[in-house]
Structure 1
Amino acid sequence: MSLVRHVTSHEGIDRESETASLQLGRRRSHSISYDPTSSHGSGDLQPAEKLDSIGADQISQYTRVAQVVVGVISCMLASGITFGYAALKTILVDEKVYRDLCTKDELHEDVRICYLQDQKLNLMFVVASVTANVTALPIGALLDRYGPRVSGIIGSFLLSIGAVFVASAPQLPFDAYITGYFLLAFGGTFVFVPSFHLSNAFPKYQGLILALVTGAFDASAAVFLAFRLLYNGTRGRFGLRQFFLAYLAVPILFLACQVTFMPARSYETRAELSERMDQARDSAQDIHDSDDELEAGELRRVRSEREEERRQTLTDITDLLGTAKELREYRDKEEEKRAISGVWGAMHGQSAWQQMRSSWFILIALLTVITMLRMNFFISTIWSQYRAMLDSPSKADRVNAFFDVALPIGGVATVPFIGLLLDHLSTVTVLSILVSVSTAFGILGVIPALWAAYCNVILFVLYRPLYYSTMSDYAAKVFGFATFGRIYGTLIAVSGLCTLAQPGLQALVHDAFDESPVPVNLILAGLGLVVGLTLVIFVAFKAREMRAERSEPGVTDPLLQPNRKNSGSIDRMSTLREAQDEV
């Protein structure tokens, strides 16, 4: 699976400590960037390196609505289709893809899928999973420098080439199945990552738009489910070639939208809009050095026009961000979330290298590697696992079919509930829930019963989005938004590369455990439990330590201090509103 998929917030405030202690701090606002290449302390690119963003107030509301709709639909049809692999794999097996790798004995026995064929098919998914995670790094750099339109156009071409390769694979002189699937994963990430900035098209509804984008990614796993239903309904007449040629319509339409009305530059964040709001309040903006060259009458007219334009900008930005009351509520809500987490600001203000050497990073990285390996192993081998444990290909078919439906539904259905958990429970509590569910998943995964298989699938489709969202939430709260691109980028790259160990796990099942997945599942579950408990204990200890330091006499908790800059902006907005009401 891809870790890029879940981001709990698109921007936030970091606490940058004045000293090494947790006593006093100042806060800066940062927006999430997947670009890991920035070398500046703030984590921001130099103006010459980063493409200027555009204010949502400069684009009509109808255009922005259309952009969000197209962005969500594009994610639903392209961003994560490669993760619906379990549904596609059954078709690939029926179409006898890689059947030539089977031995004469296996062909004579007419086995449904042989070992080497299974390994090669699973390699398709492994390559796609690694690609989706690792490519977030170069895509993040490209997005910041060249904007979402360039990213979208590249994604369209990659998806098109990938679809053509898979459709024409039997006629091509190279392994076009793996190459095409790689390009589909690469193109999907090019579609997905730039979609996050669309949440800034409507800052007041940022959370809703992020939820829609994330849910669309999860729903995209149903694309191959729909294909499987068509394939079965037509008894194979609507096969791989027909589907992937028809799928070309998706990148072509996406490309047409990109070159017509989709944004060429990312939208400004709340912080950037707030800065422009402060500038628009400054009447000194109406006075230019060139005014000395104008006649008195012309000067009054020009300054009047400037004032009118400035006031209009102020009104437009105010409509985007909300009233003074809404801004206060937003600020208070964010402060409450940070206080509840118990670990917010633990390593804010430190360099990315210092953060990566800490136990905060090492433990979450180890847990993420193990979790990614377990989940990808389960997705690509679910049919083989339950065929062995239930000793029935027909029962394995039923479990696989149930999983194909449950995967996208579970991802979409859990989005609002995950947000509630992360907002209202401490980080220690959420991590404890994760470890508990992970352990239950491991136990159910070794019980050779049909009811346990169904329960395990349900637990998996609920656990998967919760883990990914929790990890991004943990990274933002503990490490901060200033270094988020490098920290989160490193996490997803390392965990993605470790997925390459999956063929080794499958070889272990085949050669050492006589096709039984139980020992490997127990080993992975045990490792997850040990590392997970270690992380929970460590975070609980650190959270208690942070509370103790903040409660020392004479120390003011930075979480309880108002954000002076933002408070001043809100108070000025309130005064302006009152003056407008009086007029």
Structure 2
Amino acid sequence: MSYSATLDSESAISIYRAPKATFVKRLVQIGCAMFWCLLAAGPIFGFAALKPVLIDQGIYHEKCKAEELTFGKLDEMLQSTISSKEKDLCPAQDLSLNFMFTLAAVVTNAAALLVGHVLDTYGPRVTGITGAVLLALASLLLRDGDKLPFDGYRYGYSLLALGGPFVFISCFQLANSFPRNSGLVLALLTGAFDTSSALFLFYRLIYQNDIIKNLTLHRFFSFYLVVPAFILICQLTIMPKDSYKTSNTLAKITVEGIDETGIPITIDEASQLLPRETISRRNSIRTIYEEEAENKLVKQTGIFGALHGKTVKQQIFTPWFYLMALFTSVQMLRINFFVATIRAQEQYFFDSKTAAVINQFFDVALPAGGIISIPFIGFFLDNFKTVTVIQLLLGISLLIGILGVIANEACALLGIVLLVVYRPFYYTAVSDFCAKVFGFDTFGTVYGTIICLSGFCNLIQKYLDTLMHDTFQMNPIPVNILLVSITALFGGLLVFFIIGQEKEIKKAQLILEAENADVVDMPN
């Protein structure tokens, strides 16, 4: 998505000539952003950890009928804290809880285009304030969900999912408060986002062990109101009103690995302040470095620049777009389906105690996976061709699917380890693919559209959940085999298409090089 905002030349130059006070201020800005990302960027993905608490407190228990209270038992760790009325979990209650997460997952991904538009139009401060307001409303609905005339839990969780992208994406531009270390700042912010799923894990641990007496949803989300208040105060005081740099510059820094060769501002901005001769000299240097970086990327990736210069309309009506959109949709569907149903899936294969241990392992591994995988993600994206990265993603995805249908504890744990590492790797690879194939000018719209479409496709998860419950009597194997088969189909088509296009691009390059060589060899 696009994260641009207007930047005056004075602010741009100050990036490199900032006094110590400004340096400290920017460190504080990054620290504040990391703190709220840890608590608010993506806590909804910790649903697997929150679900036992929701069941314990009887959320949606009213949907159960007396004859249906035979579906399953919660793990032994919770039995002592649950009333006899709430020990049983019926299919209707389970489906309602899962749909609460499904809807939230759709919202957080479909919000991509909306957040990008608000950020581009009004800047990071307004975007962050909007997110704070949404998080406050979400807290109020989740706090008093049982007292409202509508489904406060479902709408509250969806607002929590909507507020996350607003507060997370609004701080992306902080990566350019220190341009030479933008990658490190982005990694820290991304790591904070991945770790935010641990919020509900800590809540569950506190709740189970009674560390804070009677920490009900009402009390927890009353305390959580401090988070949006903190974000609001930060946005109104210390955070910048405008982005430090435009989206195109950020994309070039990320993908090409250059930071304008040390030039503090763009050529257009410099023209307002610097002598023409200085601009010309810096422009020529900048062009040489960019051309060198882009030529290196073409050879390294095999597909860089495939659709650069095309309009968005031209780009989205190509197999580059819709094959990646299909592959992204099915991967997102698989990941979110597993997050929502891990307890039910593991209880089908194992006894309640073993299923509980595996569920708890997943709760810890999910936030940890995002942090552990950061250096490996950068290594693969920087050192392998794009088609190799996609092949690796496809292979890991199929392996996870195979491990997920084997009734073996070691296979289940290995599948979870691969999944929690695969998740951030996959999302980063999609954005990397979009930048390299579609270009910087349309990156925000194309990437945002892919994520948005994938989000809406997640509505299918509700029907897959019902299929597993009703048609297959809690057997997850048929649904998982279906998803793995679709993954193999769409992933295979994408890989074969990229291989074919890579050959065409290489052929065109050879022809162009030959033509250039002929021109050079022509006599004067």
Output the TM-score relative to the length of structure 2. 0.86
The counterpart of 1:267, out of the listed 244, 247, 271, is 244
Aligned residue identity for 2:115: I
Change (3 A) 1:555 1:109: closer
Which amino acid is the alignment partner of residue 416 of structure 2?
V
Q: Deviations over 1:337-362 (max 9, x none)?
A: 44301100111111111111111111
- 1:147 matches 2:123: yes
1:382 alignment partner in structure 2:
342
Instruction: Work out whether residues 222 and 405 of structure 1, in 8 Å CA contact, stay in contact via their aligned partners in 2.
Output: yes
Residue of structure 2 in register with 1:256 after alignment: 233
Structure 1 match to 2:95: 119
Query: Residue 485 of structure 1: CA displacement?
Result: 1.9
Q: CA 1:146–1:126 in 2, change beyond 3 Å: closer, same or farther?
A: same
Alignment check: 8 A CA contact 2:7 2:244 kept: no
Per the alignment, residue 361 of structure 1 pairs with 321
Q: 1:233 aligns with which of 183, 201, 209?
A: 209
The counterpart of 2:145, out of the listed 146, 158, 169, is 169
1:104 counterpart = 2:66: yes
Deviations 1:209-265 (A, max 9, x none): 111111111010111111111111107722212211111111111111110110111
Q: Please list the CA deviations of residues 401-422 of structure 1 after superposition, one character each: whole Å capped at 9, or x if unmatched.
A: 0000000000111012101100
Conserved in 1, the CA contact under 8 Å of 2:3 and 2:172?
no
* Cα drift, residue 83 of structure 1: 0.9
The question of whether the paired residues in 1 share the 8 Å contact of 2:303 and 2:505 is answered with yes
Q: Deviation string for 1:13-58 (max 9, x for gaps)? A: xxxxxxxxxxxxxxxxxxx6169xxxxxxxxxxxxxx645542617
3-state SS of 1:281 partner:
coil
C-alpha contact (below 8 Å) 1:550/1:556 kept by paired residues: no
**1:310-325 maps to which residues of 2 (within 5 A)?**
none
Of residues 12, 16, 36, the one that matches 1:55 is 12
Structure 1 or 2, whichever has the larger Rg, is 1
Letter in 2 for 1:176: G
* 1:500 Cα deviation after fit: 0.6
CA separation of 1:544/1:507 partners in 2, compared to 1, >3 Å: closer, same or farther?
same
Q: Secondary structure at the match of 1:508?
A: helix
Post-superposition shift, 1:366? 0.9
Q: Is the 8 A contact 1:337 1:424 kept in 2?
A: no
User: Are 1:80 and 1:220, in contact at CA under 8 Å, matched by a contact in 2?
Assistant: yes
Residue by residue, what CA displacement relative to the aligned partner does 1:529-560 show, whole Å, maximum 9, x if unpaired?
12111111110111121112111253459xxx
The CA deviation at 1:453 is: 1.0
State the AA in 2 paired with 1:401: Q
Q: Retained in 2: the 8 A contact 1:98–1:120?
A: yes
C-alpha separation between the residues in 1 aligned to 2:516 and 2:416? 47
Q: 1:450 to 1:65 in 2, by over 3 A?
A: same
Whether the 8 Å contact between 1:34 and 1:136 is mirrored in structure 2 is: no
* Deviation digits for residues 183-222 of structure 1 (CA, Å, limit 9, x no counterpart): 1111111101111111111111111111111111101011
CA distance in 2, matches of 1:418, 1:337: 17
CA drift at 1:107: 3.2
Report deviation, 1:327: 11
**Equivalent-residue separation in structure 1 for 2:52 and 2:13 (angstroms):** 45
How does 1:423-462 map onto structure 2 within 5 Å? Answer: 423-462=382-421
Letter in 2 for 1:247: Y
CA offset at residue 106 of structure 1? 2.5
Q: 2:502 & 2:72 partners in 1: Cα distance?
A: 59
Instruction: Report how many residues are paired.
Output: 475
State the alpha-carbon separation in 2 of the partners of residues 108 and 455 from structure 1: 31
- Which residue is equivalent to 1:198? 174
Secondary structure, in 3 states, of the residue corresponding to 2:123? Answer: helix
CA contact (8 A) 1:338 1:477 kept: no
- Paired amino acid for 1:68: I
Query: What residue number does 2:475 align with?
Result: 516
Aligned to 1:7: none
Distance in structure 1 (CA, Å) of the matches to 2:408 and 2:402: 12
Shift of residue 280, structure 1, vs aligned partner = 3.9
CA distance in 2, matches of 1:101, 1:404: 27
Q: Measure, in 2, the Cα distance between the counterparts of 1:245 and 1:556.
A: 69
Identity of matched residues, %: 41
Contact 2:71 2:89 in 1 (8 A): no
TM-score, L = length of structure 1 = 0.77
Q: 1:109 to 1:531 in 2, by over 3 A?
A: closer
The equivalent position to 1:395 in structure 2, one of 344, 351, 354, is 354
Q: What is the rounded CA distance, in whole Å, between the counterparts of 2:238 and 2:50 in structure 1? A: 33
Deviation at 1:334, TM superposition (A): 6.0
The AA in structure 2 aligned to 1:203 is: P
Alpha-carbon distance in structure 1 between the residues aligned to 2:317 and 2:71: 54
**Structure 1 unaligned blocks of 5 or more:** 1-31, 36-49, 286-309, 319-323, 558-583
- The structural deviation recorded for 1:278 is 5.6
**1:106 maps to amino acid:** E
RMSD: 2.5
Matched residue, 2:520: none
Secondary structure of the corresponding residue to residue 266 of structure 2: helix
